[in-house]
Amino acid sequence: MTTVLVIDDSPSEMARFRDLLAKNNFQILEAVNGEQGCEMATEHLPDVILMDVVMPEMNGFQATRKITRGKTTSHIPVVMISTKNQETDRVWGKRQGAKEYLTKPVDEAELMRIIRTVME
């Protein structure tokens, strides 16, 4: 079973991702901030990470950079998902190592397609 780590500080967004991913037969791990997400990525080595950008303490850009440049986690594809929809945000997210950058609210079919694509 494919494991997806969702890193998002919004309880409502987390619940939505939980429902979408469970419905599509993914195992879900949850982290409420970037720091916790980095720790969980190292500990569990998920297949994919869905990363929010705007979070307290360590934001999604910082966490993505740490994960994608980490010795044991650099192979894990990160998909950034944020309300920040400027082209500069997309470019910056990719420069930090994200494979894809989606804006909220995310379309379920598109999210499933992106997850499968980044895992190939």
Q: Which two tokens stand for residue 120?
A: 């190939």
Q: What is the spatial distance between Cα 78 and Cα 86, in angstroms, rounded to a whole number?
A: 19
- The torsion of the CA quartet 69, 100, 92, 19, rounded to 10 degrees, works out to -90
Entry pTM: 0.96
Q: Please answer whether residues 5 and 50 qualify as being in contact, where contact means their C-beta atoms are separated by less than 8 angstroms.
A: yes
For 62-86, the pLDDT digits (tens) are 999 999 999 999 999 999 999 988 9
Level-2 CATH architecture, domain 3-119: 3-Layer(aba) Sandwich (3.40)
Bond into 105 cis (ω within 30): yes
**Mean pLDDT, range 15-23, rounded to an integer:** 96
Which pLDDT does position 20 carry in this prediction? 95
